[in-house]
Structure 1
């Protein structure tokens, strides 16, 4: 199947024009004229994913490999080292990042993983609930299979919850909920939330976005090309 046909299908289900200005989703490596016989789905690119992929294939990941302009392609950094490996194996690469967050990923984690019923707007999914904070924390920990859960507790009872997968603390000023679920929460961000009276649960970056593979596979599994679900490894190990 031509890469252009696959790209057009992806653009239909999650338009690339929805991505943020700072993002770099879309076709990052390869040519629209390439013939693709196998697609690999992964949250991130890492060396293992590329090494296990066949030549002349396509990798679709959530996170882009390139964010800032490159001055050279010398394999001395994460992005350039993997870029060289992709080119050597003639592997095309497409990223579906903030556009997919808005159209698919946040809703999937909220509704199908956590069982919430609400609405999604831009990066934030909100839902009405009626739960004890501690009980809901245990529920979230179990559903997301978290080994630990950092929290900021401003409420004993939670009536409204907001969720943004990945790292969403830049959205804190716009959150109108008792509790905000997101990842990569920093110390001073937690202090800010506490002053604002917004409870927090850090659901992890990898842990909240690792569902990307399953979500995308569900929408593209009927394409007439072999699709392999793989995934990058979490760089953190929690004892």
Structure 2
């Protein structure tokens, strides 16, 4: 199967035109005319993953390896060191980032991982209703995402409406219309801002909330008759 055929399938599943203007989803390394027999799915690209891949593999990732105005390829530095290895092994790469967030990832996390029903969607934000004690809910969330503890900003004892954005969503704080916001990459000043507007926060982790990308996509790709392997990169953070 040609890379173009797979790209077109992915574009139908989660249109690349939905990506944000600052994003870089699409075919990043490779040639649309290239042949593919094996597809590997991962949230990110790292050296250990590349070393494990066969030549001529198509790697479909959530995060783009080429991002933010790459102006030079110095092979001793990230990400050029990884790109060099990929080119040497004829490994192609398609990224599905903010388009997939909107069409699949948030929905899956709310319904399949947390077990709630989405009542409203607004771009990158999925809303669901509960009526639970904040502490109990926070512990439940931490367990669902495999977190060692719940890192929170607590503004009320009970939670009735929850908003969720996988990955990094704190830039959306002021637009959230809920009692509690679940997202990753929560920084100190994000927490201070949330507290000032009385919005409870639970940090669900960037990697922890998005590594489901591979298992979601595998279900769709396996119908194409290709060998599809989930081989996610490792979380760069370690809890000690």
* Fold agreement, TM-score > 0.5: yes
Q: TM-score, normalised by structure 2?
A: 0.98
Q: CA deviation at 1:138?
A: 1.2
Residue 85 (str. 1) matches residue 85 (str. 2)? yes
8 Å contact from structure 2 (residues 164, 183) kept in 1 = yes
8 Å contact from structure 2 (residues 181, 201) kept in 1 = yes
Q: CA deviation at 1:88?
A: 0.2
Match of 2:5 in 1: 5
CA distance in 1, matches of 2:77, 2:121: 36
CA distance in 2, matches of 1:71, 1:143: 40
Match of 1:76 in 2: 76
CA distance in 2, matches of 1:69, 1:134: 42
Match of 2:20 in 1: 20
Match of 1:139 in 2: 140
Report Cα offsets for 1:64-87 as digits up to 9, x if no partner. 001133332221321111110110
CA distance in 2, matches of 1:153, 1:70: 39
CA distance in 2, matches of 1:102, 1:71: 29
Match of 2:202 in 1: 201
CA distance in 2, matches of 1:225, 1:137: 40
Report Cα offsets for 1:135-158 as digits up to 9, x if no partner. 101111111111122100001010
What does 1:1-239 align with in structure 2 at a 5 Å threshold? 1-118=1-118, 119-239=120-240
CA distance in 1, matches of 2:201, 2:105: 20
Q: TM-score, normalised by structure 1?
A: 0.98
Q: CA deviation at 1:43?
A: 0.5
8 Å contact from structure 2 (residues 58, 91) kept in 1 = yes
CA distance in 2, matches of 1:70, 1:170: 23
Report Cα offsets for 1:41-98 as digits up to 9, x if no partner. 0010001111111101100000000113333222132111111011000110000000
Q: CA deviation at 1:11?
A: 0.2
Gaps of 5+ in 1: none
Moved more, 64-73 or 10-19: 64-73
Q: CA deviation at 1:223?
A: 1.1
Secondary structure of residue in 2 paired with 1:185: coil
8 Å contact from structure 2 (residues 43, 210) kept in 1 = yes
Moved more, 4-13 or 214-223: 214-223
